[in-house]
Structure formats: C-alpha cells, structure tokens
Amino acid sequence: MVKEEELPEPVEQEKMRGLVEFQNDYFGGGPMYLSDEARTLYEYLGSQPIFTLGTLGKALLNPLKARREMKEMGERMKAKSVEGNMVGDGLVKGGILCIAPSGELKYTFYEDPGKGVPPECQAKIAEAARAFGSTKVA
C-alpha cells in the first residue's frame, strides 16, 4: 500500500513539481512515503471533495465570513512560511496517517480545509510518531 519513493528523473520532475518542492522544503530532499498510483491513501481518508453543495451554500449565504476565513488561512500560511503553488490535487480532502514501520496505524487526522491541525491533534500526531521508535518491523 505504501512505498518509499525517491526523487523522480528530471523529465518527470516538472510533472511532479509540487511533490519535489514539498520534499525539498519539508523533508530536506530525503525519502518520502507516497500512495500508489491508485491513490490508496486518499481513499482511506475518504476521497471527499473540499467543496460540496453545503460548503458552497454556506459561503454564498455568508460571503463576509467566507472571506474572513480565507484571509485568516492566508495569514496562518504566511506566518509559517508556507507557500501554495497550486500544483497537485487541491480539491480532495487529505489528512495525516501515522503508520508505524510495522504497518500498524497509530493515528489518523482528517483534514478540515483551511482550519489547520488543532493543537490537541498535533500532540497526538507527535505521540504517534514517537511510538515509531519503539516499533519493531516484523
């Protein structure tokens, strides 16, 4: 289901520009773990669209709130030096899966677009990642 990937060949780099930038900026160019071509991890996280009739309806009913939330999200991203490059599939909700080397799922966080990761979830993610050191691969 999950496999280690190295940087793609130069010809493929343009196609995967968002991945390469993410890998270099946040992982120092080291190996990353990616879903397979079938997008198994997205399916596991529910493959839910970011925009639904409900979210669009709420934005239309209260455009000032929607604008304020977008502005706040932009400010959080700027404060953390996170840049969006509009490359990749930005229309599907994602999340964070903490999977131990043994394959055991330690923690799952489902994305709420624009809201960030709440501090209590950050603590659980860090706890799950720390547990990786004590996990033996069979």
Q: What is the pLDDT along the chain (138 residues), one digit of tens a residue?
A: 444 455 445 445 555 666 677 777 766 666 666 656 777 777 888 888 888 888 889 889 999 998 998 898 888 888 877 776 555 566 788 888 888 878 888 899 998 887 888 999 999 988 888 877 655 544
Residues whose CB falls within 8 Å of the CB of residue 116, separated by 6 or more in sequence, listed in order: 73, 76
Residues 24, 43 share a domain: no
Tell me, what's the pLDDT at 2? Answer: 42
Domain membership of residue 20 as a residue range: 1-38
For helices 53-61 and 63-79, angle between their N-to-C axes, nearest 10 degrees:
110
Could you tell me the CA-to-CA distances from 50 to 37, 57, 137 in Å, in that order? 21, 13, 35
Could you tell me the CA-to-CA distances from 74 to 80, 86, 98, 116, 126 in Å, in that order? 10, 14, 26, 11, 25
Residues 59, 95 share a domain: yes
How many domains, in total, are found in the chain? 2
